C-alpha cells in the first residue's frame, strides 16, 4: 500500500467519505470535476486490487462500511439530480452517471450492493422457520430520524445559538 503512513490513510478516507462523496450538487454545478473524482476513486481501487498486496479497504472494517454507505447515499442523490434534469442533462452531467456506474461495477466485485433500493425494514426467515422483523439503521442519516432531523435550539438575544463555543 502506497499510503503507508497512518495519517495519510486517515486523510484519504476523510477526503473520500466526508468531502468528495458528500458533494451531492457537484455533478450539477461542476460535472467534469465530479466525473474526474469518481474516475480517480475507481482508479485507486483498481490499482490497489491489481498491483498492491494491501489495500486501503483493509485498513479497518468501519472505513469500508462507511465507504459503502457513502456510495449508497451518493448514488441516491446522483440519481435524483440526473432524473430531475432528465433530457436537459448535458453530456458532461451524463458522463458523471457513467463514471459512477463504472465505480459501482468495480465495488460489486467486493460483494457490495450499492443500488438505491436498499432495504431499510422488513421480515426475514431464520433457519428454524421463525420470521423476525428487522430494521437496518445503516441509512438513518438519510431519513428524518437521522442527522437531518429537525432540532429545537435555544437562541440568545442576538439570534445566535446559545450552546455554541464562542471567542467573543
Residue 141's φ and ψ, nearest 5 degrees, are -65, -15
**Burial of 128 (C-beta count, 10 Å sphere; 0-12/13-18/19+):** exposed
Q: For residues 56 and 52, what is the distance between their CA atoms, to the nearest angstrom?
A: 10
Using DSSP's 3-state secondary structure scheme, residue 74 falls into helix
Tens of pLDDT, residues 109-134: 888 888 755 555 667 778 888 888 87
| pLDDT above 60: residue 40 | yes
Are the C-beta atoms of residues 121 and 134 closer than 8 Å to each other? yes
Sign of the C-alpha dihedral, residues 64, 69, 70, 76?
A: positive
Report which secondary-structure segment, H or E, holds 121. Answer: strand 121-125
- The owner of cell 474526474 is 36
What pLDDT band is residue 145 in, cutting at 50, 70 and 90? Answer: very low
Band of residue 42 on the pLDDT scale cut at 50, 70, 90: very high
| Average model confidence (pLDDT) across the chain | 82
Q: Cell triple for residue 60?
A: 479497518
Cβ count within 10 A of residue 133: 8
Model-wide pTM > 0.85: no
Amino acid at each position: 500500500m502506497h499510503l503507508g503512513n497512518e495519517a495519510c490513510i486517515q486523510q484519504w478516507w476523510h477526503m473520500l467519505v466526508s468531502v468528495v462523496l458528500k458533494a451531492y450538487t457537484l455533478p450539477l454545478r461542476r460535472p467534469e470535476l465530479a466525473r474526474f473524482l469518481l474516475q480517480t476513486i475507481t482508479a485507486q481501487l483498481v490499482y490497489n486490487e491489481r498491483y498492491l498486496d494491501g489495500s486501503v479497504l483493509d485498513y479497518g472494517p468501519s472505513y469500508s462500511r462507511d465507504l459503502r454507505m457513502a456510495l449508497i447515499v451518493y448514488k441516491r442523490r446522483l440519481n435524483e439530480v440526473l432524473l430531475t434534469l432528465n433530457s436537459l442533462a448535458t453530456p458532461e452531467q451524463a458522463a458523471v452517471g457513467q463514471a459512477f456506474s463504472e465505480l459501482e461495477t468495480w465495488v460489486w466485485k467486493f460483494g457490495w450492493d450499492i443500488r438505491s433500493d436498499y432495504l431499510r425494514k422488513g421480515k426475514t426467515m431464520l433457519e428454524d422457520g421463525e420470521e423476525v422483523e428487522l430494521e437496518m439503521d445503516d441509512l438513518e442519516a438519510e431519513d428524518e430520524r437521522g442527522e437531518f432531523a429537525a432540532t429545537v435550539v435555544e437562541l440568545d438575544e442576538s439570534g445566535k445559538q446559545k450552546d455554541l463555543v464562542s471567542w467573543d
